[in-house]
Amino acid sequence: MIFSDFAKAVSQLTDPRFLRVLLFGLAMTIALLFGFYAGFLWLIDNLAPDTLTIPFVGEVTWLKDLLSWGSVGFMLILSFFLMIPVASAFTGLFLEDIAKAVERRYYPDLPPAPRIPFRENIIDTLNFLGVLIGANILAILVYAVTNVASPLVFWALNGFLLGREYFQLAAMRRLGRDGAKALRKQHSGTIWMAGLLMVVPLTIPVVNLFVPILGAATFTHLFHRLQKAG
C-alpha cells in the first residue's frame, strides 16, 4: 500500500498545479543542499588546515572552491549524508503547499485545512532538525562499530526519524498536534517503513533532489489512508 501512495505522488507530476510546486520545491531543495554544503565547507575552513585534499576532488577551500566544478562533484558525493537534513528542513517549509496540491486532486471534498502558523512551523522544523542531527552525531559511534552494516543502521535510524517528521507534519494539518501524535503511534511500523523507503533513494546523488517533494506527497496520501483505516 505504501507503493500505491508513492505511485499516486508520481502520477501527479503531469498535473500543472503540482508541477509548479514541484519545480519550486526542487529549486529550494537545491538551495538547501547548497546551504548545508556551504556550512560544511565553513567548518572545514575553520577547523581544518587552510586547504584540504580529498581523493578525486583535489584541494577544497572555502570561497574559491565553493563554486568550482570539483566542489560541485564533492557536494554530490556528500549529498549521501547532507540530503537527510535537507529533507528534514524541507518539510516545515514546503509540505503545506505540496499537501494542498495533492488534496485538490485526490481529496477535493475535504474542507480547507487551517494553515499552521509560520512561527509554529519553523519551531517544529528546527526541533525535528535538531533531533535528527543530534541522533546522527551520536550514531557515529555505532557506525564505527558496525562497519559493513553501518549503511543499514544509517537507513534504519533516519528512516524512523524522517518518517516520524513527515507523517507528523502531514497529519497535524488535519488532526492537530495531539491527534497526529496519536495516529502516528498507532501506525508506527508502517510509518517507519515508509520513512525507510524514502531514506534509501535520498542517498542516491541527483535522484535524491526529487525525494523531499515526492516524499511530502506520499506521506500526505499515507496520512489520509491511515486515518480512513482508523
Q: Domains of the chain: which residue ranges?
A: 2-17+82-229
Say how far apart CA 202 and CA 78 lie, in whole Å: 11
Give the number of other CB atoms < 10 A from CB of residue 225: 16
> What pLDDT is recorded for position 55?
42
60, containing H or E segment: strand 58-60
Segment of 17-21, 49-53, 59-63 carrying the highest mean pLDDT: 17-21
The percentage of the chain sitting over the pLDDT mark of 90, rounded to a whole number, equals 42
SS3 assignment, position 159: helix
pTM (two decimals): 0.83
Nearest by Cα to 210 from 50, 10, 68: 10
Q: Where are the alpha helices (DSSP H) in the chain?
A: 2-11, 16-47, 63-66, 69-106, 118-146, 150-186, 188-202, 211-229
